[in-house]
Amino acid sequence: MKKNITLPLTKEKVKTLKAGDQVLLTGTIYTGRDAAHKRLVDTIKRGEDLPFDVKDAIIYYVGPAPAKPGQVIGSCGPTTSYRMDDLTLPLLELGLSGMIGKGQRNETVISGMKEHGAVYFAAIGGAGALIASSVKSSEIIAYEDLGAEAVRRLEVVEFPCVVVIDSDGRNMYDVERKKYER
């Protein structure tokens, strides 16, 4: 099913999303890869405030290319998500409701998604230039020293993605693979 979602991604909206849904996201999303996630989790462990409120937020696993003149952002295709798996649960516990990346997630993350009401979206690897066209503004909000891996606040309009794992744990990677098993 095709859905347009206006962010933030509340728990009520999460419940309406099912594995296989094609989604266009409009609103604010945040970026962060493994180096940023490590800092976010260390911040949580120290009991300090994060650089943004993760409740009902979406993190996009991306390290965008530099913007060319006249562009908001460079090509911004998804990063392989398993690199964040060991650092995801503390964010889910604080209310993170969505993640965007590519590839499988481990059982700890999937269990956390089910327990805390979150979804995992896939963006199309290799479509970074197309994805960049949905980004209307980009601002570094934390960890500027990480360069491309700094945390950014992106304002997006009709950001294309697919629900791969829903909040009930239905996993398109498993379901679709089984269709072709002999």
User: Could you please report the per-residue DSSP string of 61-109?
Assistant: ---PPPPPTT-SS---PPPBGGGGGGGTHHHHHTT--EEEEBS---HHH
Stated pTM of the model? 0.94
The pLDDT value recorded for residue 145 is 97
| Pairing mode, strands 58-60 and 151-165 | unpaired
| Predicted confidence pLDDT, tens digits, the chain (182 residues) | 899 999 999 999 999 999 999 999 999 999 999 999 999 999 999 999 999 999 999 999 999 999 999 999 999 999 999 999 999 999 999 999 999 999 999 999 999 999 999 999 999 877 888 899 999 999 999 999 999 999 999 999 999 999 999 999 999 987 666 666 66
d(CA 159, CA 111): 26
CATH number of 2-131+141-164: 3.20.130.10
Helix (H) / strand (E) containing 32: none
Report the C-alpha gap between 100 and 98 in whole angstroms: 7
Q: Measuring CA to CA, which residue among 77, 68, 65, 66 is closest to residue 128?
A: 77
Catalytically annotated residues: 37
Amino acid at 40: L
Run of H or E residues at 175: helix 172-178
Give 48's Cβ-side CA count (13 Å radius): 8
